[in-house]
Structure 1
């Protein structure tokens, strides 16, 4: 699949599986930095106002596929983030990440690419 095709596919998959919580425009839920009464944090934004770009693609892939469980999140972390590996294949997950990144500025993508290091090579193998 071409890079543009991956982004287009990612947009469709994001809309179906992610937008309800993370927002149609990647804006996340209100007060995403403050825990709800149930102790869970609201879904964070995936745009540049959030922290998604602070993480390597390999970690983002693991969170989407397996959920926020070790090694992708803290032990016993309370979250509504589901593990989507049973409903999405690896290409779908890579496409979601490509779509999210396509919405960032070039500068943000450059910083996140430095964070990626060799992780992106392993992810794409």
Structure 2
């Protein structure tokens, strides 16, 4: 197996491991709910990302990242996972920025979904912009949990 395929298979395992039915409990979200949340998202970047999303992502992932009808957690008749919602109702927020960008750049892992690789079709800036837009869709409690996970992913 080529190293690039091995990486893709390992990546798919990591993505699917984080895709379980995970609800956010009130204990998890009550920690800092009263504190103002500074998402540090550039409004211009979010607006650019929304435009990229509408042009390239919305057809599969739905308006406002709500996903298509049906349950994204179950494979279809051909054995592929449908496109998941990208708001905080699914698993996108379980992944650090680097994983979200890699998924956009490289597409679905073989045999997992039908998402195409956007590398060479979207610029790096456009991919970063769309990730900023996706993050803007998450509620404050979920965004707080994501920030904690993101910080942990960046620790050596």
TM bin (shorter chain): 0.7 to 0.9
Structure 1: tracts of 5 or more residues without a match:
70-75, 121-125
Match for residue 21 of structure 1? 60
Residue 147 of structure 2 is aligned to residue 113 of structure 1: yes
Alpha-carbon distance in structure 1 between the residues aligned to 2:152 and 2:48: 25
Q: 1:11 aligns with which of 30, 38, 50?
A: 50
Alpha-carbon distance in structure 2 between the residues aligned to 1:117 and 1:99: 19
After the TM superposition, which parts of structure 1 deviate over 4 Å for at least 4 consecutive aligned residues?
Answer: none
Secondary structure of the corresponding residue to residue 83 of structure 1:
coil
Alpha-carbon distance in structure 2 between the residues aligned to 1:89 and 1:113: 25
Structure 2: tracts of 5 or more residues without a match:
1-40
Match for residue 36 of structure 1? 76
Secondary structure of the corresponding residue to residue 117 of structure 1:
helix
Match for residue 92 of structure 1? 126
Residue deviations 1:32-63 (CA, integer Å, cap 9, x gap): 11111100011000111110001101000000
Alpha-carbon distance in structure 2 between the residues aligned to 1:16 and 1:119: 30
| Partners of 2:108 and 2:114 within 8 A in 1 | no
Q: CA RMSD in A?
A: 1.8
Match for residue 73 of structure 1? none
Classify 1:66/1:39 alpha carbon distance in 2 versus 1 (closer, same or farther; 3 Å): same
Deviation at 1:114, TM superposition (A): 1.3
Residue 137 of structure 2 is aligned to residue 103 of structure 1: yes
| Partners of 1:57 and 1:119 within 8 A in 2 | no
Deviation at 1:104, TM superposition (A): 1.1
Alpha-carbon distance in structure 1 between the residues aligned to 2:43 and 2:97: 18
